[in-house]
Structure 1
Amino acid sequence: MDAPPPSLRSSSRRRFLGMAAGVPLAATGALALGAGTARAATDSAYVMCYFTESPDMLAADYGLHLAVSPDGLEWTPLNQNNPVATPTAGSGGLRDPFVLRKQDGTFVVLATDLKGTDWTYVSQYVHVWDSTDLRTFTGYRRMKLHDMNTHSWAPEVFWDAGRGQYGVIYSAVNSSGHNVIMVNYTSDFVTAGSPQVFFDPGYDVIDGDLAVGVNGVNYLYFKKNSTLVGARSGSLDPGSFTEFSTAVSHGGTEAPTLVKSLASSGTWYLWGDTWSPNGVFYAWQTGSLAAGSWTALDQRTYTQPLNSKHCGIQPITATEYANLLAKWGTPVWNRLKSYNYPARYVRHSNFVGRIDEYAFDPYTDGMWKLVPGLADGSGVSFQSVNYPTRYLRHYDYALRLDENDGTSTFAGDATFYRTAGLADASWASFRSYNNPTRYIRHSDFVLRIDPVSTTTDKQDATFRVGY
């Protein structure tokens, strides 16, 4: 859950009127395998759920968004990055969605009941949907978790095999005035048992994310002082987890999401979201959750969905992946990431072509339709999404966004041939149609067409075409 500013968090704490201490439960017995969810034998891809915001809130949308990925690193937004479901009760919006495959193979989606950033809004409920295939969402309702005067932030779910129930963990404020991670148990996601304190290390923690039964150990990652930290336990009993890992962060980081690689045994990824509407995701990798140490991934290797915030990630089958793409479609637009500055994307600003650091507003400045070349249909032209009568073209070798005047000169200036990336053949480079010795490249972050010869030139002229 995106934490509010400290002043509002203090007032949120003062709103707490009292919370019963967690009641110890009997030992849970055998633990669930994998990540605490029912896992299909043929899982080979992933689905991500999220909401959207951007720096000036032009992308603010508090409905349920989905994206898919074959590797858990590069993501394709579904439904043109529009919501696939929107709450109609409570605040009328959601944050922090989470998707779980239940023991019967169907899915349940939970989310914080909060629209926007009104941190004074208090809800004892979470939003809930059922879904057989993530293409239709039924049974929308809110599930009440407690009667306390505190929030129910960032709900996530795990299967507790010993109890034969699902545990719903979420962030709330305790009687000492700091956020803890609570748990309620449910069998049907309609009614929940009494709230208990699941994890309270004595300081403020939010955004719990569990990996259950990994070589007999359960791992809980959470936000502590704007860093991501792990705790572990041999059981799922409330109060049994002990902090152990090295903290990781990139600025103020929250919303940890643990993802097991389906392609590499033992490899796990840890996603984190930066606080503020910028919502930049960063990712780390480890070969062993038990080690508690992480290595930052090169940003060339992953791309978050446009404007995504506080995600949840679930493995899916190849059939489910294909069906989701068939149902919702891929975006009609693309984004272009710089190879040697992978935090930056191609955009226009004041009609000048350049690469700027994600995230920015208007976010539509960085969205492009790659259409058949205006001068040669075997090439491509870059049509602006928010100025559809304008295209990227070169003029005195500098790239700018101009109105298509219908002339052959404009068509030639706005046409490029896509080639294998000059610095990495799995990426792309773009050669000018009417200046065939020159390629689109950035120089001091401004786009132009130049001859390319050096290693740096080739890196400047290489881009990833994605979403």
Structure 2
Amino acid sequence: MSAAPHPAQPSRRTILGLAAATPLAMTGILSFGAGTAHAADSAYVMCYFTESNDLGAGTDYGLHLAVSRDALEWTPLNQNNPVAIPTAGALGLRDPFILRKQDGTFVVLATDLKGTDWNYNSQYIHVWDSVDLRTFTGYRRLKLHDMTTHSWAPESYWDAGRGQYAVLYSAVNSSGHNVIMVNYTSDFVTASAPQVFFDPGFDAIDATMTVGVGGVNYMYFKNNREGRLYGTRSTSLTPGSFTVFGTPTNHGGTEAPTVVKSLTSNTWYMWGDTYTPNGVFYAWQTSDLAAGTWTALDQRTYTQPLNSKHCGIATITAAEYDNLLAKWGAPDWNRLKSYNFPDRYVRHADTVGRIDPYPFNPYADSLWKLVPGLADSSAVSFQSVNNPTRYLRHYNYVLRLDVNDGTPTFAADATFHRTAGLADSTWSSFRSHNFPTRYLRHSNYVLRIDPISTATDRQDATFRVGY
């Protein structure tokens, strides 16, 4: 993770947090601008692409989806594999974005770029239509300009005053640096001529818009020379009307902001992405967008989808949430996050069980199938996904990854009883089957089984089972 400015690097941005409103005819209530969900929404969908730490296995420049009830903990769909793949242009995408249109259906936009060739200049963006995010139709590319430059990080919102959708993106114009451009469209098939939407006088990418909050429109973007996220606002949606305000936000070098509102409180979340392959998402919150200040969230409270980069988030209904899971399925593997070191995950390394900071290589060392316990089917055993003949077992109280030799001793050593988390009952702890006074915990980042007595012990022995 680098905190240095990187003006040559494009957006891996996260774009608009909330979908544009479903129309009155569909909901029976007033429709709001992008940034405020309509009354029927009770969950979220995230779109993203994936990059592993070395751009090897786990890297995929197709459209990926995940779902969430709270916009903080995410379940990847389709085993974290793509649900749609571009078939024209660069044959890959970055920076996907989902918008619910005024007719209640969805449109998906994405940067026309595969990999990290930042010199690839596409005048187009990828576009799909979808009625339910389970099928994607009408794939096409939408031309935005004739300039010799890129069209990075597209997002869209409904401009009620114009009666059209605005498409924001980053491009280098005659100023010589990236600015936020805009085109207007009614159908995402053709678009108006481009114009400059926002130019702060320095390299600006990754614009994300939240429309109509207390009569104010908010746009966040990345200052590409600093690697910080800046807020802007305007009481109109007129190009050139937005001005910078508030305190810049970052965690090291950060880009790709997305802003999303809690569906159950007056809390707003902002996600940001570090601009490295397999970058880490960080999240902040505020209860007052007008204040322009954000407070970092504890990493215990959120988990990004595995290998995800530059996400977009839209609100969906409970039925759409259920239908997406029914169509694509949740992963058949899990990751285990440490309670008191929430940037670290349980993994095996040189056959030793330990917790290490995410991301690491190979990422699959942290994927586990929680199967019925080898010694007691009501308990669990941890089967390695990338070494499926091997299981985590304790040996001299230290956890290691060994081949199942079929003996009762191995079965007992590899079996754990899942309980409510010793430090937080909403998390999980794991009691040894054959040493029932001992629990799985980390010590100096190495996994072992020990008796638990202190508050620190209880934290060391508590994990979140997620994805």
Shorter-chain-normalised TM-score: which range? Answer: over 0.9
Which residue of structure 1 aligns with residue 278 of structure 2?
278
Deviations 1:145-200 (A, max 9, x none): 00000000000001000000000000001212111000000000000100000000
Tell me, yes or no, if the aligned pair for 1:186 and 1:192 is still in contact at 8 Å: yes
1:4 positional shift = 12
After TM superposition, which residue ranges in structure 1, 4 or more long, deviate above 6 angstroms?
2-5
Structure 2: distance between partners of 1:184 and 1:3: 32
Structure 2: distance between partners of 1:360 and 1:220: 33
Deviation at 1:34, TM superposition (A): 4.0
Q: Does 1:194 align with 2:186?
A: no
Mind listing any 5+ residue stretches in structure 1 that lack a counterpart? 13-31
> Does residue 54 of structure 1 match 2:52?
yes
Q: Taking structure 1 as reference, are residues 117 and 410 closer, same or farther at Cα in structure 2, changes over 3 Å only?
A: same
Aligned-partner SS, 1:47: strand
Other-structure match for 1:216: 215
Amino acid at match of 2:328: W
Matching residue's letter, 2:142: M
Deviations along 1:235-293, one digit per CA (max 9) or x if unpaired, are 0000000000201111100000000110103x110000001113100000000100000
2:406 corresponds in structure 1 to: 406
- 1: distance between equivalents of 2:358 and 2:228? 21
> For residues 159 and 344 of structure 1, what CA distance do their matches in structure 2 show?
40
Kept in 2: contact 1:37–1:102 (CA 8 A): no
Which residue identity is paired with 2:46? Answer: M
Shift in Å at residue 134 of structure 1? 0.3
What are the superposed Cα offsets for residues 2-39 of structure 1, whole Å, 9 maximum, x if unpaired? Answer: 999958569x9xxxxxxxxxxxxxxxxxxx96442795
Residue 182 of structure 1 corresponds to 181
CA distance, structure 2, for counterparts of residue 38 and residue 437 of structure 1: 50
Alignment of 1:105-120 (within 5 A): 105-120=104-119
2:321 matched residue in structure 1? 321
- Deviation string for 1:381-408 (max 9, x for gaps)? 0000000000000000000000000000
Q: 2:361 corresponds to which residue?
A: 361
Separation in structure 2 between the aligned mates of residue 264 and residue 304 of structure 1, nearest angstrom: 21
Gap change, CA 1:396 and 1:9, over 3 Å in 2: closer
Q: Hey, what's the Cα distance between the residues in 2 that align with 1:139 and 1:71?
A: 31
Q: CA separation in 1, counterparts of 2:310 and 2:263?
A: 22
Deviation at 1:41, TM superposition (A): 2.7
**Which residue in the other structure is 1:422 paired with?**
422
SS for the counterpart of 1:135 is coil
- Partners of 2:408 and 2:331 in 1: CA distance: 30
CA contact (8 A) 2:3 2:253 kept: no
1:242 aligns with 2:243: yes
Q: Which moved more, 1:38-47 or 1:138-147?
A: 38-47
Secondary structure of 2:246 counterpart: coil
Pairwise CA RMSD of aligned residues? 1.8
Structure 2 match to 1:262: 263
C-alpha deviations, 1:275-321, integer Å up to 9, x for none?
A: 11131000000001000001000100001100000000000000000
- Aligned partner letter, 2:293: S
Structure-2-length-normalised TM-score: 0.93
Which residue is equivalent to 1:70? 69
Q: Deviations over 1:327-352 (max 9, x none)?
A: 11111000000000000000001111
CA distance in structure 1 between the aligned counterparts of 2:37 and 2:51, rounded to whole angstroms: 31
1:448 match:
448
Alignment partner, residue 152 of structure 2: 153
Check the 8 A contact 2:35/2:213 in 1, yes or no: no
The answer to whether the 8 Å contact 1:393/1:402 transfers is yes
Amino-acid identity (%): 76
> Residues of 1 paired with 2:146 and 2:5: CA distance?
25
Paired residues for 1:1-150 under 5 Å = 6=6, 8=8, 34-36=32-34, 39-57=37-55, 58-150=57-149
For 2:58 and 2:337, locate their aligned partners in 1 and report how far apart those are by CA, in whole Å.
Answer: 19
Rounded to whole Å, the distance in 2 between the matches of 1:262 and 1:140 is 31
Long gaps (5+) in structure 2: 12-29
> In the alignment, residue 120 of structure 2 is paired with which amino acid?
Y
